[in-house]
């Protein structure tokens, strides 16, 4: 799994200069990403308060339309399913769910680990 878009899209509001004067590369990458995602559900950890609002801002500034993808936030789900955890960070969630992150792709902020966590949480919700 390759992170094609991460380095090319200004997701941080601190990168506002890129959003105020977008170049063709930023807009092109966003169009490609939008086409790739289609109408799928965006899944992430802390997506409600961080990623989705920032990505929506980038969409508004560069594509001149809102981000309308539905999304699922694994942070919200873990708070609901495991109310007694003391730490809900992404790293703690992976540890608590016993998801092995010792691999060549051990960067915690990769989609594969979000998928593993979401799949575990989904199964837990429907099996209990």
Other C-beta atoms within 10 Å of 116: how many?
16
Confidence band, pLDDT 50/70/90 cuts, at residue 5: very low
Predicted local confidence at residue 128, as pLDDT: 62
Spatial contact of 76 and 28, defined as CB atoms under 8 Å apart: no
The neighbouring-strand residues paired with 44 are: 73
Confidence band, pLDDT 50/70/90 cuts, at residue 21: low
Q: Which residue carries 């105020």 as its tokens?
A: 20
Tell me the C-alpha distance between 120 and 115, whole Å: 9
Tell me: the pLDDT tens digits for 27-39?
A: 888 888 889 888 8
| HSE value, Cβ hemisphere, 13 Å, CA-based, for 120 | 18
Tell me: the pLDDT tens digits for 67-105?
A: 889 999 999 999 999 999 999 998 888 888 888 766 555
Distances (CA, A) of 8 to 22, 23, 119: 11, 11, 28
């Amino acid at each position: 799994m390759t992170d094609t878009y991460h380095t090319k899209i200004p997701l941080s509001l601190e990168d506002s200069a890129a959003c105020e004067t977008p170049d063709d590369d930023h807009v092109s990458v966003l169009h490609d990403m939008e086409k790739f995602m289609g109408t799928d559900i965006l899944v992430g950890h802390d997506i409600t308060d961080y990623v989705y609002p920032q990505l929506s801002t980038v969409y508004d500034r560069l594509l001149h339309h809102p981000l309308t993808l539905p999304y699922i936030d694994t942070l919200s789900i873990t708070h609901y399913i495991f109310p007694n955890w003391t730490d809900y960070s992404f790293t703690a969630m992976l540890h608590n769910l016993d998801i092995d992150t010792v691999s060549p792709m051990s960067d915690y902020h990769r989609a594969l680990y979000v998928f593993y966590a979401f799949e575990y949480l989904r199964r837990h919700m429907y099996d209990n």
